[in-house]
Amino acid sequence: MKALVWHGKEDIRCDQVSDPEIEDPRDAIVKVTSCAICGSDLHLFHNFIPAMLPGDIMGHEMMGEVMEVGSAAKGKLKVGDRIVVPFTIICGECDQCKRGNFSVCERTNRKKELASKVFGHPTAGLFGYTHLTGGYPGGQAEYLRVPFADATHIKVPDSLKDEQVLFLGDIFPTGWQAAVQCDIEPTDTVAIWGCGPVGQMAIRSAVLLGAKQVVAIDCIPERLSMAEAGGAITINFEEESVVGRLNDLTSGKGPEKCIDAIGLEAHVTPTQPDTLLDRAKQMVMLESDRPHVLREMIYVCRTAGTISIPGVYGGLVDKFPMGLAMNKGLTFRMGQTHVNRWTDDLLRRIEEGQIDPSFVITHTVRLEDGPEMYKVFRDKQDSCVKVVLKP
Amino acid sequence: MIAFSRLSGIARSKGDPKVLRTGPSSLGGADRLARGLGWFSIGLGLTELLAPRLITRAVGLRGREGLVRAFGVRELGHGVLSLSVDKQAGLWSRVAGDVLDIVAVLPALSPANRKHGNAELALIMLLGVTVLDVLAAQGVSARHRRPPTGWRSYSDRSGFPQGAERARGAARRDFQTASDTQAPPAIAPGVA
């Protein structure tokens, strides 16, 4: 089969690979009908997240048709079922899964020893996302083996198109969880850094959850236009002061809720000198992540406010203003998304027409065009916001 | 490259797909040239830093070992930058470095220098590398440039089939925030 394979920094190829096989009675094989390139795939593309190996198949946003089911998964899945595959692999039985903390499932990371050494305790297995999270082959491929398939799936009705439900596997619940973690009240201003796909979903989620005003921060005009269409007030950080404008919009008090939908690769610009220093340190491996957004959020957030972090961080950050955070009494909520905790509710909202996540798709191409689209997406060329691949 | 993929197969299970044949890469020709020049910078930088006398002796610039060492450090910087995601900056910094190198070698072209033949050869090589650096920098910049104009407006993409205004607060009616993400309630009425 064909698959997008990581061969090194900025080197993704559409390779011919062997077909996946069922290894465990709980496995299933899925014929992928749609998959997407996620913003966090770019962290792997840039080799900022450790423990990728040449030959790893990319992709953690995918859906398709069940082709083969292991004996232990037959009660929950059957051949022909149409499913979205959540990016977090879950057993559904461990203590964390029972609490709904699916992204820290205790059983599905098959490289627990490695993960324990790095993280202290292992997190869940993830598709196409380094050997620290199990080294499971990803879904930017024609076929995918889904481990723990009896729990790791979201069944979707035939009445909805792939484009409407594909993002239930990652960016939609990620944006939703980011907003839910803020416990938005009708008097709240929610500021969201980053208008990429997750930021766009967080904007819509904050609107649905009834924030008084949603403010979106970015510097890419097409992304800002999409944010504005979703009901956000926009700030172009290359044209105006983020802190000044946010304070103006909140009578000088700052936003109650701040969401970081950027993560470890904050935009590097001379207008924000700390980003230049971070980039230089990152280049010589003195720092793994560029935390400009965290610093700005902590500074501008209202006292006793909440900071929600769906953006991916990979390791170590410098100059983290812990003193500000402590003295202001800020609450931090973060983590990989507990996808299945939210998907029944979100699927219902899509079916009822409250939201249609397909608005974010700007490019639909063949799987073979994937390597070039990584470049286009990374360089933000051709007004690219979200790429869907059709194997 | 496929050899590395096969070698890494020891970290995979038997049901995981293995690479059989590699296809076209996301790296373009300009990217590969940038990578090559980056490694060249690292090699040259290490030589200048660790064995400056080799260079000063060859071009007849004895006594300038300190300058060559400084250029070595600078060259390592070019290399790191050219091998990074910000390779455009790395390649243009190499071009600036080429100019400094050319200026530094000019005094050695004097007929009084017994090694002026070598210095001429060094200058020709430097001019050639400069041309290569300019071409690589232009190629990489063109490949990765985001056009400053011509972006598409997505102002018609609200994502709310029933309209943004109707969507505002729609989930408040039927969504119960779980206790692990609830903010502490206010202890007095009328807090805004």
ipTM: 0.91
Question: Cβ of B21 and A16 within 8 Å?
Answer: yes
For residue B14, name the pLDDT band (cuts at 50, 70, 90).
confident
- Chain B residues within an 8 Å CB radius of A56: 8
pLDDT given for residue B148 in this prediction:
79
Q: Is 90 exceeded by the pLDDT of residue A223?
A: yes
Please state which of the ranges A74-78, B92-96, B186-190 shows the lowest mean pLDDT: B186-190
Q: What are phi and psi of A119, to 5 degrees?
A: -95, -10
pLDDT given for residue B13 in this prediction:
87
d(CA A365, CA A388): 6
Tell me the percentage of chain A whose pLDDT exceeds 70. Answer: 100
Whether residue B182 is contained in a domain is answered as no
d(CA A199, CA A227): 8
Domains of chain A: 2-170+337-390 (3.90.180.10), 172-334 (3.40.50.720)
Q: What is the pLDDT of residues A159-184, one digit of tens each?
A: 999 999 999 999 999 999 999 999 99
Q: Is 60 exceeded by the pLDDT of residue B192?
A: no
Q: Is 90 exceeded by the pLDDT of residue B6?
A: no
Whether residue B15 is contained in a domain is answered as no
Whether residue B108 is contained in a domain is answered as yes
Residue B137: its H or E element:
helix B116-144
Whether residue B35 is contained in a domain is answered as yes
Whether residue B110 is contained in a domain is answered as yes
Question: Considering only residues 213 to 252 of chain A, which have any Cβ-Cβ distance to chain B shorter than 8 Å?
Answer: 220-223, 225-226, 228-231
Q: What is the pLDDT of residues B71-119, one digit of tens each?
A: 999 999 999 999 999 999 999 999 999 999 999 999 999 999 999 999 9
Q: What is the pLDDT of residues A188-215, one digit of tens each?
A: 999 999 999 999 999 999 999 999 999 9
Q: Is 90 exceeded by the pLDDT of residue A325?
A: yes
Tell me the percentage of chain A whose pLDDT exceeds 90. Answer: 98
Place of tokens 């009896």: A150
- Interface membership of B5 toward A (CB under 8 Å): yes
Q: What is the pLDDT of residues A338-384, one digit of tens each?
A: 999 999 999 999 999 999 999 999 999 999 999 999 999 999 999 99
For residue B1, name the pLDDT band (cuts at 50, 70, 90).
low
Q: What is the pLDDT of residues A103-138, one digit of tens each?
A: 999 999 999 999 999 999 999 999 999 999 999 999
Question: Cβ of A187 and B170 within 8 Å?
Answer: no
- Interface membership of B85 toward A (CB under 8 Å): yes
Whether residue B19 is contained in a domain is answered as no
Whether residue B76 is contained in a domain is answered as yes
For residue B176, name the pLDDT band (cuts at 50, 70, 90).
confident
Whether residue B73 is contained in a domain is answered as yes
Taking each helix axis from N to C terminus, what angle separates A292-300 and A273-283, rounded to the nearest 10 degrees? Answer: 150
Question: Considering only residues 188 to 217 of chain A, which have any Cβ-Cβ distance to chain B shorter than 8 Å?
Answer: 200, 204-205, 207-210
Average pLDDT taken over every residue of chain A? 97
For chain B, how many structural domains are there in total? 1
Question: Cβ of B26 and A371 within 8 Å?
Answer: yes
Count of residues for chain B?
192
DSSP secondary structure code for residue A136 in this structure: B
What is the extent of the structural domain holding B119? 27-142
Which residues contact residue A44 at a Cβ distance below 8 angstroms, ignoring those fewer than 6 apart?
Answer: A6, A52, A58, A128, A129, A130
User: Chain B residue closest to A219 (CA)?
Assistant: B148
Please state, in angstroms and as integers, the Cα–Cα distance from residue A261 to each residue in A163, A193, A284, A300, A369, following that order.
22, 6, 25, 16, 27
Q: What is the pLDDT of residues A230-278, one digit of tens each?
A: 999 999 999 999 999 999 999 999 999 999 999 999 999 998 999 999 9
Taking each helix axis from N to C terminus, what angle separates B29-50 and B87-105, rounded to the nearest 10 degrees? Answer: 50
DSSP sequence for A217-257: EES-HHHHHHHHHTT-EEEETTTS-HHHHHHHHTTTS--SE
Pair A195, A218: CB distance under 8 Å: yes
* Higher-confidence position of B149 and A66: A66
Q: What is the pLDDT of residues B33-75, one digit of tens each?
A: 999 999 999 999 999 999 999 999 999 989 999 999 999 999 9
Question: Cβ of A55 and B81 within 8 Å?
Answer: no
For residue A389, name the pLDDT band (cuts at 50, 70, 90).
very high
